[in-house]
Amino acid sequence: MSTVGRRLAAYAPLLAPPLVGAYTGDALLTAQNAEPTRVLAALHANASPRRPAPRPSRPVVVVLVDGVGDAFMARAMERGTLRPVSWWRTFDTGLPSLSRPAYHALFTGVPQAVAGVGNNRHRGPARADTMMDRVRDAGGFVAWALEGVSWMHDLAGRSSDEVRWGGAAHDVDALAAMATRNTLVVTHWVTTDDAGHTHGAASVDYAREVDGAMRRASALHDALAQRLGAAGFTLFVGADHGHVARGGHGGPERAVTRTRWVQLGGPTRTHHEGVISASAMAATFTDALAIEAPREALRCAAREAVTSDCAAITRRAEAVEPVFRATVREGRVRAAVLSVAWAVVLLAMAALGGTRVRRALAAMLVVLAGAVGAYVLLGPGFTLSAIGTRGAYIARSLAALTAGALVAWAAVGRRTGARGREVLWASAAVPWAGVAAAGGLAGATVPGPHVALLASTAGMVPTATVLAVLLTRAITKRTG
C-alpha cells in the first residue's frame, strides 16, 4: 500500500462517521418535503372547477412582516403604531412554524402537513392552486415587492408579474404606485426576522425593528388612501411566525405559532374570538378581491364572506381528511418498523460480529448515553425554535454532545476494552436511527418538530464522538 493509501486508511475512521452524519441529516431534510402523493391526489380530485370571474375592481395589498408574533402585533395596535385597524384575528401558523411552509399555507389555504411542505428547503412552485392563480384567471395582475429572499415568488410568482427588490419594498410611495397598476401586491419585509434571529424577541433591537415596520405599514395605508381614496383598496398586514425570547422559531411555542393578521382602513368588521389556522387567510385575501378562493383551499375565509365558496371548501376538507389521516397512520407504522429494523441490525451485529464488535457497540452506547445526557443539560433544547441561527445551533449542540461523549468515553467507554478507532466506526450507526425514525414518514406527512430535531441532532453524534476520542488522546498524552 502506498504512503497516501496508508494515510487515508489511518484517517478513514475519523472522516467516515461525520460524513455519514452529514449525509443522513441532508437526506432527512429532503425527506421532510417529500410529496404525500395520495393526499395531494385527493386534494386535486376535489378541486373546485374554474369559473369565470369579473376582474377585481379594487386592489388588495398584502404586507407580510416576517417573524412578528401575535403579542407584538397586539402591542402595536394598543399603542397606535399600527393604525387604523378595522379588522383583526389571531391565527395558528401550524407546525413547523417556519417561513416557507407558512407562505405555502397562506397562499394556497392548504396546511403545511397536508401539502407535505416541511421546512425551508422546499423548492419549486406551490403544490396547490394559489390565490395568485385566481387573480390571474380573473384577468388581474400580480406584483411583488421583496426586501430580501425570493421564496414567496418561487412559490407563486410568474415571469409576467411585476417584481421589485431590496429598498423598493420599504418605499411606501413606490408600493402605493404598484397598487395603481396591479390587482394584488404582495410585500415581504424581512429585517424583523433578521433581528429576531440575531438578537432575540426580548431584545431592544428586535423591538425597534418591529416598531419601524408597524409605522411603515401605517404610512403605506396613508399613501394608498392618498392615491386611491379611502375606499379604493384593501390592506392586510400580518406575519408568518413569531420568535422566542432568545431568538428562533419552528417549534410549538405560543410565541412563534400565534400570529395576527389585521386589515388597515375600510369599514369596521366584527372581530371573531378564538384562534384558527393561518391557512384561512388565503380565502380571506381572495374574499377581499371578490373572487373565488384557491381551488384547493381547505379553510374558509376568516371574516364575513362576500363570495359563497365556503360550502365547497368544507366539502373538500371533509373529503381529504380521511385520506390524510390514513396516510399519517401508515407513515407512523413504517417509521416504527424501520426503527425496530435498525435495532435488530445492531443486535445481529452484536451477536454475530465477535468480541470486538460487541465491545465497540457497547462503548458506542455508553458514549451515546453521555452525549444525549449532556445535550439535555447543556444543549439548546428539544424544539426547532432552538435553531435561532443554524451556526449557533450547531455549535452549541456539538459542544454539548462532545462534552458528554468525552466524559462518557474517558470514564466508562474505554473500560469496555474497545479501541477509539472501533467506537468511531460504531458511532456511524447513530444517524441511521434518526433516518429510520423520521425518514420513514417521507411522503406520509411532515415529521413532528421533536422527531425532526432529534433525528438531525443524531447526525452530529459521530462528529462529537470523533472530537471526544481525539481530546481524550490529547489529554492522555499531556498528562503522561
DSSP structure string for 66-125 = TT--HHHHHHHHHHTSS--EEEEEEEE--SS--HHHHHHHHHHS--HHHHT--STT--SS
Range 25-48 average pLDDT: 88
The gap from C-alpha 45 to its chain's centroid, in whole angstroms, comes to 27
Q: Which of 7-16, 142-151, 387-396 has the highest mean pLDDT?
A: 142-151
How many angstroms separate the CA atoms of 277 and 90, rounded? 9
DSSP code at position 319: H
pTM > 0.85: yes or no:
yes
Question: 43: pLDDT confidence band, cut at 50, 70 and 90?
Answer: very high
Q: Rounded to the nearest 10 degrees, what angle do helices 354-378 and 420-427 cross at?
A: 70
Instruction: Give the strand pairing for 85-92 and 258-264.
Output: antiparallel
4, amino acid identity: V
**Range of lowest pLDDT (145-149, 183-187, 307-311, 323-327):** 307-311
- For the record, the C-alpha cell of 128 comes out as 396547490
Question: 96: pLDDT confidence band, cut at 50, 70 and 90?
Answer: confident
Range 33-51 average pLDDT: 93
Question: 450: pLDDT confidence band, cut at 50, 70 and 90?
Answer: low
How many angstroms separate the CA atoms of 164 and 197, rounded? 25
What is the longest distance spanned by two Cα atoms in the chain? 85
Instruction: Give the strand pairing for 184-189 and 142-146.
Output: parallel
DSSP structure string for 165-234 = EGGGGG-HHHHHHHHHH-SEEEEEE-HHHHHHHHH-TTSHHHHHHHHHHHHHHHHHHHHHHHHH-TTS-E
**Range of lowest pLDDT (2-6, 20-24, 242-246, 304-308):** 2-6
Could you count the other beta carbons within 10 Å of the beta carbon of residue 51? 11
Predicted local distance difference test score (pLDDT) of residue 30: 78
Phi, psi of 142 (to 5 degrees): -115, 140
Spatial neighbors of 75 by CB under 8 A, at least 6 apart, are none
Range 286-315 average pLDDT: 90
The gap from C-alpha 153 to its chain's centroid, in whole angstroms, comes to 17
Phi-psi region at 477: left, alpha or beta (left = phi > 0; alpha = psi -120 to 50): alpha
Q: In what helix (H) or strand (E) does residue 17 lie, and over which residues does it extend?
A: helix 3-31
- Domains within the chain, CATH numbers bracketed: 3-36+330-479 (no CATH), 49-308 (3.40.720.10)
Question: 412: pLDDT confidence band, cut at 50, 70 and 90?
Answer: confident
- 3-class secondary structure, 445: coil
- For the record, the C-alpha cell of 333 comes out as 407504522
Provide the residue count of the chain: 480
How many angstroms separate the CA atoms of 100 and 420, rounded? 42
Answer yes or no: is pLDDT of 162 > 80. Answer: yes
Could you count the other beta carbons within 10 Å of the beta carbon of residue 476? 11
Predicted local distance difference test score (pLDDT) of residue 376: 86
Predicted local distance difference test score (pLDDT) of residue 402: 93
How many angstroms separate the CA atoms of 366 and 232, rounded? 68
Q: Are 236 and 285 in contact (CB under 8 A)?
A: yes
Q: Which of 439, 435, 432, 430 is nearest to 375 (CA)?
A: 430
Look up cell 433544547; give the residue. 381
| CA angle (177, 178, 179) in 5-degree steps | 90
Question: 8: pLDDT confidence band, cut at 50, 70 and 90?
Answer: low
